[in-house]
Amino acid sequence: MNIRGIIIFQISIAALILSFGSLTSCKHDPLIPLDIDTICFEEQVLPVLQTSCGITGCHDAGTASEGFVAVSYETVINYVNPGDAKGSILYNVITDINAEHFMPPERPLTQQQRTLIHLWIAQGAMNTKCPSGINGVPDGDTAKSDTVCFNQDILPILLSSCGISGCHDAISHADDYVFTNYSTLMQNSEAIIPYNPGESKVYKVITENEPGERMPPPPNSALSSQQKELFYIWITQGAINSDCPEKSCDTIAAIEFSTQVWPVIENNCLSCHNSSVSNGGVNLDSYQQIKYYSETLRNETPVIVGVINYMNGFSNMPPSIKLDECTIRIIELWIEQGILNN
């Protein structure tokens, strides 16, 4: 769910509690009004299960702890008795705090999340996929503007600022943290707590004001306020392993430096190439610096084009992962259109 969906759902739960008062069940099972909107499995239930249960070392396809896999409707429905939440294994393990197999053991689901799953089961546990604009599921335009996507928005920041040599790459794994992909990021339960930025260790350290406590540590630059906000929104939206290639792929209109080129540099390059840390003697912390490497030619190719295309005779940048084709094309078009500071 995006922020709007979360707010709508929380308001619905509050109204539900006010309408029906205190509950007598020892598990505090919610009462279900007959006219409640249909719960969407794909957009509302599955993201909760994937980010709390279907993670590495727990109930992903590779681990399948206790034989349970929480990655799709087909695997989840085996532990659900449609129409009967109390008779469903899934619902019992997320609500019975005294049970031996209480799940998730270190990070119980919130009241809203438990109620969401209860409502979904009570409605028949169907494999529902809601059309855009229904039940808080955003329509196309809204999704593009307010949804933070892991692959396009979060992963580049992690790879350029955290998952680097000597820090949290697979070889260094400082403090046993590896931040090179979604699975390794979510492997430590305290690193990212979906829907709760304030309790997520990653968010705490990137917003820490004390230089000795913050990440990335000095002399590396701290994340910008915009990057911190991306993490906040992404976690608030459920910290989903989302991929939205169409979100940033706009090569039809004139390319703007401020909204299309600079974010690419900031999220993928700036942590290693700034006035404090200029790896290879390269500084990219201003338009003038980026313009210089866009105008400077090597083998008749702009340096910045050569490095992001992993061309022979150039250093591969970013070194950890190649930019997607659309992002590369955005940089190339910006140069072709005159390297404007627009």
Scored b (16 or more CB within 10 A) or e, 299-309 reads eeebbbbbbbb
Scored b (16 or more CB within 10 A) or e, 7-39 reads ebbeebbeebeeeeeeeeeeeebbeeeeeeeeb
With 70 as the cut, is the pLDDT of residue 49 above it?
A: yes
- Average pLDDT of the chain is 78
145 pLDDT band (50/70/90 cuts)?
very low
For the chain, the domains span 3-122, 147-236, 249-336
> What's the sign of the alpha-carbon dihedral 329, 161, 238, 181?
positive
With 60 as the cut, is the pLDDT of residue 132 above it?
A: no
With 90 as the cut, is the pLDDT of residue 231 above it?
A: yes
Q: 170-196 pLDDT, tens per residue? A: 777 778 888 888 888 888 888 898 888
pLDDT attached to residue 190: 87
Q: Torsions phi, psi of 82, nearest 5? A: -50, 130
Q: How many CB atoms lie within 10 A of CB 342?
A: 15
pLDDT attached to residue 61: 59
Token readout for 325 is 């084709």
SS (H, E, C) the chain: CCHHHHHHHHHHHHHHHHHHCCCCCCCCCCCCCCCCCCCCHHHHHHHHHHHHCCCCCCCCCCCCHHHCCCCCHHHHHHHCCCCCCCCCHHHHHHHCCCCCCCCCCCCCCCHHHHHHHHHHHHCCCCCCCCCCCCCCCCCHHHHHHHCCCHHHHHHHHHHHHCCCCCCCCCCCCHHHCCCCCHHHHHHCCCCCCCCCHHHCHHHHHHCCCCCCCCCCCCCCCCCCHHHHHHHHHHHHCCCCCCCCHHHHCCCCCCCCHHHHHHHHHHHHCCCCECCCCEHHHCCCCCHHHHHHHHHCEECCEEHHHHHHCCCCCCCCCCCCCCCCHHHHHHHHHHHHCCCCCC
**Cα 161 to Cα 30: distance, rounded to the nearest angstrom:** 44
- Which of the two residues, 290 and 97, has the higher pLDDT score? 290
Q: How many CB atoms lie within 10 A of CB 167?
A: 19
- Which of the two residues, 9 and 20, has the higher pLDDT score? 9
Q: Torsions phi, psi of 91, nearest 5? A: -70, -35
Q: Which whole number is the average pLDDT over 119-131?
A: 86
Q: Torsions phi, psi of 288, nearest 5? A: -60, -40
**Opening angle at CA 20, ends 18 and 21, nearest 5:** 65
Q: How many CB atoms lie within 10 A of CB 337?
A: 12
pLDDT attached to residue 144: 41
**Cα 102 to Cα 106: distance, rounded to the nearest angstrom:** 9
pLDDT attached to residue 81: 92
Distance of CA 300 to the CA centre of its chain: 39
